[in-house]
Structure 1
Amino acid sequence: MAQQNSFHIPLSDPDRTVALGHAIAPVLRPGDTLLLTGTLGAGKSHLARAIIRARLGREEDVPSPTFTLVQTYDHAEGDLWHADLYRLSHPDEVIELGLDEAFETAIALVEWPDRLGDLVPADPIRVELRYDGEGRMAEITFVGRPDLADCLMDFTK
């Protein structure tokens, strides 16, 4: 049975959030799903943008998918899907978006994952962002993935 990992990472400012995104982006692979939770303004979209830009290797316009629901980015090593499910009223709408298929073939970054209902993929990477004094705290939990655990241990040093 794979080990459950949990990391608490202080994010003192927005630049530290970007650094976290740049640190974990290289170890992500198609089939990975990051479930991004936290209150409004906690940094979910900011972290997602940093991951997407780091994966693409360039400064890319990365709009919030609040109104489009999903933004996709083509990449030779696997597409990236950034979804904001805040406006969904039923989990069946996830299927209409094609997100259930993306969980298998792409790197999926999902804000407001509570809207997924029973459609949460197996073994997601859960990222909870919350206010912590003047900054934020990221709690990242996942099963297995020694490569991600090593990456996060290096980041916290």
Structure 2
Amino acid sequence: MKVATLGRASGFTMVELVMVMVLIGVIAAIGVPRMMGNNTMAAAAFGDQVVSALRTAQKSAVARRRLVCASVGASAVTLTMSPSSTRRNCTEPLNAETYSTSASGVTAAASPSTLYFQPNGMITSDADGRTPVSGTVVIQSDTSRTITFEGSTGHVQVVP
């Protein structure tokens, strides 16, 4: 009597095939947007830097009891402060920190482009601190991200 013996079949198991498909899906989800020039990640990072810069300006103005100026450009936010509490011009750099992006296609636009953070916490449109200003900073790339600021309270937030 002959007994049939089964040999090991060659090929991949179902688990191995599923794992390969999952890995290909993860790599495609991460890699394809980067290869296609999608700047969503760069815009999000720059938006976080802009929010951080504006909050730093507001807190520094209150803590140091000096005027702090934030100039919002297309690819950078520059913070400067007044040399003394009695002066109304911003000539000294605030910190050694830089708030900028080098990603192509990511830009910031603020209305107004220069914000004056007063020692009392207000955000104004002039160095004398007479006119509180509220407005937005819009980070543009493939998508847009809006940051709002409230002049009378100095509150800065990202609009969801």
TM-score range, shorter chain: under 0.3
TM-score (norm: length of structure 2): 0.26
Q: Which has the larger radius of gyration?
A: 2
TM-score (norm: length of structure 1): 0.26
Structure with higher helix content? 1
